[in-house]
Amino acid sequence: MNKARNFVSIVMGSDSDSEIMKETSGVLARFGIAHELRVASAHRSPKFLEKCVRDAEKRGASVFVAGAGAAAALPGAIAALTTRPVLGVPIASSDLKGLDALLSIAQMPAGVPVGAMAIGKAGARNAGMLAVQILALNDSRLAASLIQHRGEQEKGVMKKDAQLRSGSIK
Ligand code: RP5
């Protein structure tokens, strides 16, 4: 799914991050957005990372989603190489359980922004949602799908409320 223009490049610092970052690709697949999954580390493979980012830009990546744990330099390193939006997902892979990654991703110096998501699966899913919202700015079909999705979410909550009130869930 990575040949089209306007695709999302999902990069993770290690294959050990893939269980979390699959949440992002799941959301993108659900909205029919072309995307790729790459492993490239800011610390362990900086030259390869630069090559991946340059290559993705040339092929038309519109948004980068970068997931990393520990001293998570990956989203910031990607943001340093591109002016396309970068969404960073902190992953709880170290003894500090993602707080280290969250602070690394959120505390970017002025001038090189990264959108910091929540730690873990919720953040990975929201990175996918936010990428869809960015792409929907120039795509009315996608914008309509987002509105439909919000409606489905609301109906789901109302259904749970009704079930709780009727005693069918405790
Ligand atoms: C980070 O170090 C990666 O993003 C991963 O979350 C963490 C541990 O990597 P591995 O030692 O499992 O490869 O760079």
Residue 15: name the closest of 37, 39, 36 by CA: 39
pLDDT of residue 4: 56
Confidence label for 6 from pLDDT (cuts 50, 70 and 90): confident
The token pair that represents 152 in the structure block: 């489905």
The domains of the chain are located at 7-138, 140-170
Give tens-digit pLDDT for 18-47.
999 999 999 999 999 999 999 999 999 999
Q: Please check the confidence at residue 1 and state whether its pLDDT lies above 70.
A: no
Atom of ligand 1 nearest to the CA of 41: 14
Q: Strand order of the sheet with strand 86-91?
A: 35-39, 7-12, 61-69, 86-91, 115-116
Cα 134 to averaged position of ligand 1 atoms, centre (Å): 28
What value does the mean pLDDT take over residues 129-145?
98
What value does the mean pLDDT take over residues 140-165?
98
CATH number of the domain located at residue range(s) 7-138 in this protein: 3.40.50.1970
Choice from 10, 11, 12, 14 to test ligand 1 binding pocket (greatest atom count within 8 A of CB): 14
Residue 9: name the closest of 48, 51, 62, 46 by CA: 62
Atom of ligand 1 nearest to the CA of 42: 14
pLDDT of residue 79: 98
Give tens-digit pLDDT for 77-132.
999 999 999 999 999 999 999 999 999 999 999 999 999 999 999 999 999 999 99
Taking a C-beta distance cutoff of 8 angstroms, is the pair 115, 86 a contact?
A: yes
SS3 123: helix
pTM for the model stands at 0.95
pLDDT of residue 2: 45
Residue 70 backbone class (left: φ over 0; alpha: ψ -120 to 50; beta: rest): left
The CA-based dihedral angle spanning residues 78, 84, 85, 88, taken in that order and rounded to the nearest 10 degrees: -20
Choice from 10, 11, 12, 16 to test ligand 1 binding pocket (greatest atom count within 8 A of CB): 16
pLDDT of residue 20: 98
Which protein residues are within 6 Å of ligand 1, measured from CB? 13-14, 16-17, 41, 68-70, 91, 93
